[in-house]
Each structure stands twice: as C-alpha cells, then as structure tokens.
Amino acid sequence: MTPFRIYDRTYQTRLLLGTARYPSPAILQQAVTGSGAELVTVSLRRQQSAPESAQPFWTLLRKLNVDLLPNTAGCRTADEAFTLAQMSRELFDTPLIKLEVIGDDQTLQPDMVQTLACARRLLDDGFQVLPYCTDDLMFCRALVEAGCEVIMPWGAPIGTGRGLSDPYRLRTLRERLPDVTLIVDAGLGKPSHVTEAMELGADAVLLNTAIAKAHDPVAMAQACRLATEAGLLGAQAGPMLAQDHANPSTPVLGMPFRRTS
C-alpha cells in the first residue's frame, strides 16, 4: 500500500488499533499482528486504574514492536488532558499524543472548545497532536490552523459500531482539508464501514471495540486490514458516477438482429 504520514513518521498500514477491552493479552497480540498495525493507542489512565495488570501489559507492548500513541482518554477538561499528556510523554518517550477531551457522558462527544484550547497548549509544548474531534468543518479547520497535521473525526459515537453517521461531512472535510492526514476514529463496527471511510478519502482508520469485541477478534483484525486496502484502492481507481436511470452495460447498436412484427 502507498505509505502515509503522521507528522514526521511514515506508515504502510492504514489501520491503527486500540489496545483496550480484548478478551486476553494473547488475543490482543494476535489481533495486532493480524491487522498489520504499526501504531497502537495506549491509555496511561486505564493502566493507573489497574496497576496489577500494568507490568504484563507494558511487556506485551514491547514485544509487539510497534509505535505507541498515548491518549488522554477519560479527560473532561483541557487542564486535565494537558497534565496527562505530559505524564504520558515522559513515560512513553514520544511526542505523539491522541488528544481526547470528552464533553458529554452519554455520547462521549468531544468538547471541541476544550479540545482546541488544549491542542494549542500541547503544540506550543512540542507535542505532535492527533485530536479526536467531531466532523465539524470549522473546528477541524481551527485545529489545522493551530498546527495539527492530523485530525481524527468521529464516524459515530465511540463504541457504537453504527458506521458513518454523516458521510457528507467526512467527504467535505477531505475536500476542504486536502493536505491534512485524516484518520476516522470511533463508531465503526465492521469491515464495510472501514471501506466506506477509506472510499470517502480517509487516510486511515482507528479501531478498538470493533475488533476487541468481535466474536473472533483476530479474524476481524485481518478483515479490517483488507478493508482499508480495498477502500483505498477503490478511491484511487476513481469510481463511476451514480446515475438515476438504468444504463445498459452491453451496447445494442450494431447488433445483427432485427425486430419483426
């Protein structure tokens, strides 16, 4: 596949993986391998809440030989997210941070005012920020103008598996922000959703629940990797335009037949 960039790093595989909610560490390891993911998210907050499992988890991550993308999952304010990002940078030794500032407990919709404020602080502090955001063009443009080279708009609320709630908005983001790395994050549930996101112009997708909670997470990871490839190739191929009326695929002009009464 054609490589894509996340700040100063280049990746071949356009599927990023979360590392939470898997049935076991062994299945997580197999899923990451099957997905071909080169970048996986980690949550310092989740590990702090379960310290007895932290050491085996870090050992597993080292064995996977992948880049780590710490996140600020669970944060509700810009100050909280900024502090957690600094702790994550020190622990994981990376400037990458997936910024999450949640504004609603039911939908887990990001608070875009707080997200934008925190993104500016983090960028000024030397972070490479990947903000989890809505698909609102104005806020996404503001994030880019602040210095974000990557944006991560949601497809649907986190963990719902509903697929893309508003394909038009994602297509618009791609058209209006053509030079930004666009990673669809949240709400995708199956390979067809992944393909659709890629066909709309996403550079990559980030999945967690869709794979971790599948009946067979390893098979689902493999399927979603193939779905990113299919969607990207389909987009690059230039699909035909949809039409309102039927148009025969086999021409009839010049056929050696004549209608008789």
Q: Is 147 annotated as a binding residue?
A: no
Q: Is 186 annotated as a binding residue?
A: yes
CB-based contacts of 2-5 (< 8 A; 24+ apart in sequence): 2/232, 2/236, 4/181, 4/203, 4/204, 5/149, 5/181
Q: Is 159 annotated as a binding residue?
A: yes
CA distances to 8, 36, 37, 51 from 57, in Å: 27, 19, 17, 10
Q: Is 72 annotated as a binding residue?
A: no
- Closest residue by Cα to residue 91 from 115, 123, 61: 61
The Cα–Cα gap between 203 and 14 comes to 7
DSSP state of 52: G
Amino acid at 151: I
DSSP state of 241: P
Provide the 10 A C-beta neighbour count for residue 98: 26
| Chain centre to alpha carbon of residue 248 | 39
Q: Is 242 annotated as a binding residue?
A: no
Q: What residues are annotated to the active site? A: 98
DSSP state of 219: H
**Residues in the annotated binding site for 1-deoxy-D-xylulose 5-phosphate:** 159, 186-187, 208-209
**Residues in the annotated binding site:** 159, 186-187, 208-209
